[in-house]
Amino acid sequence: MELRLYNTLTKEKEVFAPLDPARGVRMYVCGPTVYDFAHIGNARPVIVFDVLYRLLRHLYGEGGVKYVRNITDVDDKINARAAQEYPDLPLNEAIRFVTEKTERQFHEDVDALGCLRPDVEPRATEHIREMRDLIDRLVQAGFAYVEQDHVLFEVGTMPDYGRLARRSLDEMEAGARVEVAPYKRNPMDFVLWKPSKPNEPGWPSPSGITTPGRPGWHIECSAMSWKHLGETFDIHGGGIDLVFPHHENEIAQSRCAFHAPIMAKTWMHNGFLQVEGEKMSKSLGNFITIRQLLNDWPGEVIRFNMLRTHYRQPIDWTVKGLEESFDTLASWMGDDFNAGGEAKIAASVQYALLDDLNTPAAIAELHALAKSDPVALGSTLRALGFAHRPESKRTVDTGKVDALIDARLEARRSKNFAESDRIRDELKAMGVVLKDNKDGTTTWEVAR
């Protein structure tokens, strides 16, 4: 039985084998930018690659897999949040408060979703030296140039730039915005390093630049994967939105710096998550954090609901789906479910997962086990991260709904729209949909 994984790079399902069996399987997944609670879309890659990690550990042994997922702790959004939240502190200190708090919240959330911690969780700010080293190599080898205290990767120097995203440079240039930064030779050239503005965090710059600067986003992942997995490794994952430009640019940096034909062998991308048929966004009021969902649903139910859809398909996140997931899990895991029992993936379920992580097929096999072999069902559930019987079913607390609606009206009256939107989001996460009527009243219903 072979593991077959769909590779975005070749657009084919390929038989998987580690590049260097002696080093085991090496996997890198792009992690969160830590400035706020992660949303339910962010939970998708975390859960999907956790299932893959568990399957790989089952196949190659616990010591046979190294899973690295980074923490992005350099970002404009972090700086802005820090200045807003701790205006009286020096910015660097405020940033540390924000990133440490958010990282802790992220861990609490994904732990509750039954996800194992990766073997290494590197932070960008702890790998600035490696980033500078990579950038120096790229400049020395003629793949990057310095202009106005920026360092840019020159995409024209790489013949197959665009291979992952399957776009040609000509097409990309045609689609590029008219206004091009003055320090760029080509509109598609991307930033490896940029000067820090006064007050922003800054580090000594590479390539002879004398003023302090900070790294671009893409270089972080090239540096951290290199440090912890080597110049080339087996699997690189993330959401489908990362294919371009993030992963394309990671490939450009790493391959050119190391003169290597590949960065990672297998590129895997999860499809996008939308909520009740709509793109999730703050302006639509359907933005749901993992934390909000965990207030109302056991982590196991959220995890199971995510896995009912194959990872490459788009997923429509609904309250109805959560209710069905609750019922299924509750029927499988009786009062006597023993969290500490044996954990082992049954052969039929393993077989389904070996086919590009086909979790819907695996769930069909779990349904079959529920009828034929409850012991195997329990041990497979535990092995797949379902440790506890889901205890409570979500119920709408009408007193709380009414109080929130009142608070929202109050916020709208005082024109505090950020707060009124936040309250709408909170209600939405409880499954409550608001309707503002023409006569000024607000009514609500439970989404089904």
Residues near Zn ion (CB under 5 A): 30, 221
Total residues contacting ligand AMP by CB under 6 A comes to 15
Residue 239: which of Zn ion, ligand AMP, none does it interact with, CB under 5 to 8 A by kind? ligand AMP
For position 44 contacting ligand AMP by CB under 6 A, the verdict is yes
Beta carbon nearer to Zn ion, 30 or 384: 30
Confirm or reject binding of residue 42 to ligand AMP (CB under 6 A).
yes
Residue 221 interacting partner from Zn ion, ligand AMP, none (CB closer than 5 to 8 Å by kind):
Zn ion
Q: Which one of Zn ion, ligand AMP, none is in contact with 280 (Cβ closer than 5 to 8 A by kind)?
A: ligand AMP
* Binds ligand AMP by CB under 6 A, chosen from 160, 241, 278, 397: 241
Contacts of ligand AMP in 86-145 (CB under 6 A): none
Residue 147 binding partner per list ligand AMP, Zn ion, none, with a CB distance cut-off of 5 to 8 Å that depends on partner kind: none
Shortest Å, Cβ 245 to Zn ion: 11
Q: How many CA atoms lie within 13 A of 163 on its CB side?
A: 15
Q: 78 contacts which partner out of Zn ion, ligand AMP, none, CB within 5 to 8 A by kind?
A: none
What phi and psi, each to the nearest 5 degrees, are found at residue 222? -65, -40
CB of 33 to ligand AMP, least distance (A): 5
Q: Is 383 in the site for ligand AMP (CB under 6 A)?
A: no
CA-atom Rg of the chain in angstroms:
24
Rounded Cα distance between 199 and 195, Å, is 12
Q: For the segment 12-31, give every residue that binds ligand AMP (CB under 6 A).
A: 30
By beta-carbon proximity to ligand AMP, the closer residue of 32 and 378 is 32
- Minimum distance of Zn ion from residue 250's CB (angstroms): 6
Please answer whether residues 153 and 194 qualify as being in contact, where contact means their C-beta atoms are separated by less than 8 angstroms: no
Q: Which two tokens stand for residue 233?
A: 């490794």
d(CA 102, CA 82): 11
Q: Is 254 exposed, middle or buried (0-12, 13-18, 19+ CB in 10 A)?
A: buried
Instruction: Work out whether 41 is an interface residue with ligand AMP (CB under 6 A).
Output: yes
CB 332 within 8 A of CB 370: yes
42 binds, among ligand AMP, Zn ion, none (CB under 5 to 8 A by kind): ligand AMP
For residue 202, give the amino acid letter.
G
Residue 272: name its binding partner from ligand AMP, Zn ion, none (Cβ under 5 to 8 Å by kind). Answer: ligand AMP
Stretch that binds ligand AMP, among 169-177, 238-246, 353-361, 396-404 (CB under 6 A): 238-246
Interface with ligand AMP (CB under 6 A), residue from 114, 162, 238, 298: 238
In the set 24, 122, 216, 239, which binds ligand AMP (CB under 6 A)? 239
Least distance CB 106 / ligand AMP (angstroms): 10
Q: Which residues bind ligand AMP (CB under 6 A)?
A: 30, 32-33, 41-42, 44-45, 238-239, 241-242, 270, 272-273, 280
